[in-house]
Amino acid sequence: MIASLANVAPHPGTAAQGSAIVSVRNIKKTYPGGVEALSGITLDFPEGQLTTLLGPSGCGKTTLLKIIAGLLPATSGEVLVGGRTVTGPGPERSFVFQDFALMPWASVLRNVAFGLELRGVRKSEREAIAVGHIAKVGLKGFEYKYPHELSGGMRQRVGLARALAVDSAVIMMDEPFSAVDEQTRRKFQEDLLGLIANEKKTFLFVTHSIEEAVYVSDRIVLLSRRPSRVSTIIEPKLDRSGDPEGIRRDPAYLDAVEGIWQSLKKYLD
């Protein structure tokens, strides 16, 4: 379904088709000390798609994501989620952290159910929900393990399950695979595609890996070097209906990777 949505997209670089669930309006961010991270970003994130923020390291992709998450205040501009201005974190958004951010003293089950625990959902109810999501990310049987007993890839699956468990419309992922080794990452990316197709949620993804961006994204927003602006928007039209391994051999995939590399190259010295 997502692949077909991407296929009907008019032209790369035009405004979002369909309704934008997240809108960023002229966001500027200057850190104390005068470092200008973002200089006037305006973007729409269409509902039900996976949009990736991609750019050279230190370009402020994570900063933008955290502003959308309500974890960081913007210097000026506004973020609208579902038409409403964001002033802080909210139940319609959930976050997957680069370093997992799991509670080491809590079991996988409690970690996954934590968002619901904070909302006051009854223990039996929230654990039933969590068990379902633990199975969904492929960790069935690990419910009573502790984070230190899991590998990096498995820990991030817990982080993902926790974000899914609160059933928010928007899931934000901040370089979720950067602390995971290469083989695990590939497997995880493949599994993620399956999850995205089933969940019908809006995903905001941040990565510095071009291959990863093209592999998982419906839209890729290229950010320029600091102070960041939106440089280009690319919509790789890949057929994700078949074998997930086949995507990496798809000429469209390879062309998109090459195209992005050519436009990012100029930011390197």
Partner 1 sequence: MTMFGYRLPMMTSLILWAVLWELVGHTEAGFILPPLSKIVMRMGEILPTPSFAEALLITGRSFLTGVGIAVLAGVPIGILMGRSIIADRLLLPWVNLFLSAPLSALVPVIMVLFGLGEATIILTVTLFAIWIIVLNARVGVRSISPSLVEMAQSFGASRWQAFSKVYVWAALPEILAGVRLGVIRAVKGVVIGQLLVSVVGFGTLFEIYSSHFLMEHFWALLLVLFAFAFALNEGMAWLERKVQYYAASRA
Instruction: Specify the residue for token string 């592999």.
Output: 215
* Secondary structure of residue 222 in the 3-state scheme: strand
Helix then strand then coil, % of the chain, to nearest 5: 40, 25, 40
Q: At its nearest, how many Å lie between partner 1 and the CB of residue 160?
A: 13
- Strand ranges of the sheet holding 76-81, from the earlier edge strand across to the other edge: 36-46, 20-30, 76-81, 84-85
List Cβ neighbours of 147 (8 Å cut-off, separation of 6 or more): 100, 102, 103, 104, 106, 108, 111, 155, 158
Q: At its nearest, how many Å lie between partner 1 and the CB of residue 259?
A: 33
- Residues numbered 151 to 210 that lie near partner 1 (CB under 8 A) are 162, 166
* Omega cis (within 30) before 12: no
Which residue, 1 or 103, is less far from partner 1 as judged by CB?
Answer: 103
Length of the chain: 269
Tokens of 151: 């590998």
Which residue, 123 or 187, is less far from partner 1 as judged by CB?
Answer: 123
Which residue, 91 or 141, is less far from partner 1 as judged by CB?
Answer: 91
d(CA 16, CA 215): 20
- Residues numbered 50 to 69 that lie near partner 1 (CB under 8 A) are 66, 69
Q: Return the sign of the alpha-carbon dihedral for residues 219, 65, 223, 26.
A: positive
Which residue, 94 or 228, is less far from partner 1 as judged by CB?
Answer: 94
Which residue, 71 or 169, is less far from partner 1 as judged by CB?
Answer: 71
Q: Residue 82 interacts with partner 1 (CB under 8 A)?
A: no
Q: At its nearest, how many Å lie between partner 1 and the CB of residue 69?
A: 6
Give the contact letters, 90-129, x = binds to partner 1 (CB under 8 A), - = no: xx-xxx-xxxxx-xxx--------xx-xxx----------
Q: At its nearest, how many Å lie between partner 1 and the CB of residue 65?
A: 11
| From 33, 124, 148, 268, residue interacting with partner 1 (rule: CB under 8 A) | 148
Q: Which residues pair with 230 in a beta bridge?
A: 223
Which residue, 186 or 208, is less far from partner 1 as judged by CB?
Answer: 208
Neighbours of 50 (CB within 10 A): 24
Q: Compute how many residues bind partner 1; rule: CB under 8 A.
A: 29
Q: Residue 71 interacts with partner 1 (CB under 8 A)?
A: yes
* Secondary structure of residue 1 in the 3-state scheme: coil
Q: Contact positions toward partner 1, by CB under 8 A?
A: 66, 69-71, 88-91, 93-95, 97-101, 103-105, 114-115, 117-119, 146-148, 162, 166
